[in-house]
Amino acid sequence: MKKYLKTFWAFALIFGFVVQSYAQDSIRTPLALGKIEPYKMEVTYDKTSHLIFPTAIRYVDLGSEYLIAGKAEDAENVLRIKASVKDFEPETNFSVITNDGRFYSFNVYYSSYPEVLSYDLLTMQKAVDKANGNDVLFEELGNNSPSLAGMLLETIYKNDKRIVKHIGAESFGIQFILKGIYIHNGKYYFHTELRNRTNVPFQIDFINFKVVDKKVAKRTVVQERPMIPLRIYKPLDEIGGKTTEQNVFLLDQFTIDDDKILLIEIFEKNGGRHQTLQIENSDLIKARLINDMHLKF
């Protein structure tokens, strides 16, 4: 009997060891598959390094007090970084999240004479397969990945189709039209075009999306509901003389009552050639669906 008990416990110990080893391997394997390889860079105490990211910087975390960093003034996509102490050891690290959902990791080493002081992260990003890359989800985009949202903005812009043909405004030689409304995964994509038929450049100050009553004698803050774009394909800039520019705006899905309209207003900086589009609920519910399988629309 004792012989059988010894054999039983021997098998039990071996089985337990095998199960534990398998469990450890199953824990390690997913992490290994999801490993993000860090970029390596050198910094120094007497000079500042600059990293230029493809989009605005959203988050920065420094691994230790050996580094100091900050966004460059008036440049949301440029990060300044340098050593706060000389000859620090061992290496440290920092991480960056950008507005397009990309996550960047860096291992940083001290060097008195760094070979490179400026880095273009767009070139580095092109080396990464975006379909399998690291994509951070932002609260305002819900389940939509920033890279997919960016791809849809770009695709709508490049396709440049006019599927809405009855919404527009024109005055003082400036024409503002809505070319299309698309919907994908709970988000609207508004495709607009601004044409300057004059020789005088149209400098864009800002653009508003807001819901208002159709008939209001005096508009008040209570009667207006602003709609804030989550993403814009191109920065709002200047439309040169005899020039046409288009843009795409990403907004949360919404509908409006029949007694209300959506206004898209574009304002000229130091000028009076403002333009306004009026969109009704019947236009919103006819938004063209973007096929999630093939991204066709």
Q: Which helix (H) or strand (E) holds 120?
A: strand 118-120
- What 3-state class would DSSP assign to 295? coil
H and E: helices and strands count for the chain: 4, 19
Q: How confident is the model at residue 19 (pLDDT cuts 50, 70, 90)?
A: very low
**CA 207, CA 204: separation in Å to the nearest integer?**
8
pTM: 0.65
Domain ranges for the chain: 39-136, 147-289
Q: How far apart are CA 169 and CA 143, in angstroms?
A: 35
Confidence band, pLDDT 50/70/90 cuts, at residue 209: very high
Examine the pLDDT at 139 and tell me if it is beyond 60.
Answer: yes
Strand order in the sheet with 118-120: 67-71, 78-83, 49-52, 118-120
Q: Rounded distance, CA 231 to CA 26, Å?
A: 39
In the prediction, which pLDDT does 221 show?
52
Q: What is the pLDDT of residue 245?
A: 96
Average pLDDT, stretch 204-223?
77
Nearest C-alpha neighbor of 230 from the set 138, 297, 159: 138
| Backbone torsions φ then ψ of 152, nearest 5 degrees | -70, -40
CA-based nearest residue to 210, from 193, 197, 192, 223:
223
Per residue in 41-68, pLDDT tens? 999 999 999 998 888 888 899 989 999 9
Shared fold status for 39-136 and 147-289: yes
Q: What is the pLDDT of residues 221-232, one digit of tens each?
A: 557 889 999 999
Please, what CATH class does the domain formed by 147-289 belong to?
mainly beta
In CATH, which of 2.30.29, 2.60.40, 2.60.310, 1.10.10 is domain 39-136?
Answer: 2.60.40
pLDDT bin (cut points 50, 70, 90) of residue 261 is very high
| 51 close to 78: Cβ distance less than 8 angstroms | yes
Cis-peptide, bond into residue 90, ω within 30° of zero:
yes
The confidence band for 99, taking pLDDT boundaries of 50, 70 and 90, is confident
Q: In the predicted model, is pLDDT for residue 26 greater than 60?
A: no
Residue 56, helix vs strand vs coil: coil
From residue 159, alpha-carbon distances to 152, 153, 247, 283, 285 in Å are 10, 10, 12, 21, 22
- Predicted local distance difference test score (pLDDT) of residue 158: 94
